Structure 1
Amino acid sequence: MGRDIFSRILYGARISITVGLSIVIIAAVIGVAIGSLSGWCGGRVDRIIMALTDMILSFPSMVLALALTAALGVGLFNTMLAVCIVRIPLYVRLMRGQVLSLKEEPYVKASKTFGASPFWIVLHHIVPNCLSPLMVQMTLGIGDAILIASSMSFIGLGAQPPMPEWGAMISTARVYAIDQWWYAAFPGLFILVTVMGFNLLGDGLRDILDPREH
């Protein structure tokens, strides 16, 4: 097709990595807020939030993302929004568990005694002590988000040609797979290396930040 594949892959790296980072950051912010509310309030609020979370988690991530993208419409932004919705429950459950364990700590009870508001306690005491597991989950989630977004682009629901997104590049290259194998091989290789790199980074952070390892 007369295109410089290497230049398109390098340019597509900005798109794919930006998509992964954006999905993870937005999902983490929303998930932390909802999970903190669920863990702190408890009772009926907790039951309603966890019922919705379990309902979303009961569906396979890829299937739910496909359904949401089909409902929202074709396009990279809608794909990002769909994947973000799918990833939010992971952070809700993580943050809820952390809040339930930390809100009984002596320093949290002391803050309550001095009249601190729940919002101030969560923001200044609980969230900073949850950063380690959140960072690990976010790092591992970037690779998953890139993979799901690339898969959606591959089947035509995400980024549309001629945008040089890795999944869209592989989709276009299917026609030329027999004669020009490198057209599909190198975008796929970059997806593999990027996802593996973020997963290894997440594993390394988990080992470094795990207090049981020290």
Structure 2
Amino acid sequence: MWFVYCCLPSRAYGLKTAKTCETSYCFIILRHILTNMISPILVLATLDVGSIILRIAGMTFLGLGAQPPNPEWGAMLNDGRPYMYMAPWIMIFPGLAILITVLAFNLIGDGLRDILDPRETQRT
């Protein structure tokens, strides 16, 4: 996923206008490039954290992640699988923990995008 982060500077707006007005490179970098990159990087990073949590839980559920002394949500789901019909809460609570954590990171990223998007502040 690193290539998504590398493509972000190419989407910065207003660079041709700033170059024609002969502004300094420091001002162009600070005003145009960094302000347009912060919001997408934060959103993509928080979405990637949620994706990584799901991938790690999936790998440990299959037995390919951390080994048994280490607590992992995927391992907890796998350990509760034989008791799913007798004691479903053994699988429900780790699953809910994964769901709430991933949802929280996605909502935090969406909220940060709404707060930090420079184009949204210019419209109001």
TM range (shorter): 0.7 to 0.9
Write the distance in 1 (CA, Å) between the matches of 2:54 and 2:65: 12
Q: Which of 55, 74, 78 is the aligned partner of 1:148?
A: 55
In the other structure, the counterpart of 2:89 is: 182
Q: Which of 98, 104, 111 is the aligned partner of 2:11?
A: 98
TM-superposed deviation, 1:209: 2.3
TM-superposed deviation, 1:145: 1.6
Q: Does 1:200 align with 2:112?
A: no
Q: Which of 128, 131, 141 is the aligned partner of 2:34?
A: 128
Q: Which of 160, 165, 170 is the aligned partner of 2:67?
A: 160
In the other structure, the counterpart of 2:120 is: 212
Q: Which of 157, 169, 172 is the aligned partner of 2:76?
A: 169
Question: Which protein is bigger by CA-based radius of gyration?
Answer: 2
In the other structure, the counterpart of 1:53 is: none
What SS is found at the alignment partner of 2:23? Answer: helix
Write the distance in 2 (CA, Å) between the matches of 1:127 and 1:164: 42
Alignment of 1:101-120 (within 5 A): 101=13, 103-106=15-18, 110-111=23-24
Q: TM-score, normalised by structure 2?
A: 0.75
In the other structure, the counterpart of 1:70 is: none
| CA RMSD between the two structures | 2.7
Number of positions where the alignment pairs a residue of Structure 1 with one of Structure 2: 118
Residues 33-62 of structure 1 show CA distances to partners (whole Å, capped at 9, x for unaligned) of xxxxxxxxxxxxxxxxxxxxxxxxxxxxxx
Q: TM-score, normalised by structure 1?
A: 0.47
Distance 1:172 1:90, change over 3 A: farther
Q: Which runs of 5+ in 1 are unaligned?
A: 1-86
Distance 1:153 1:105, change over 3 A: farther
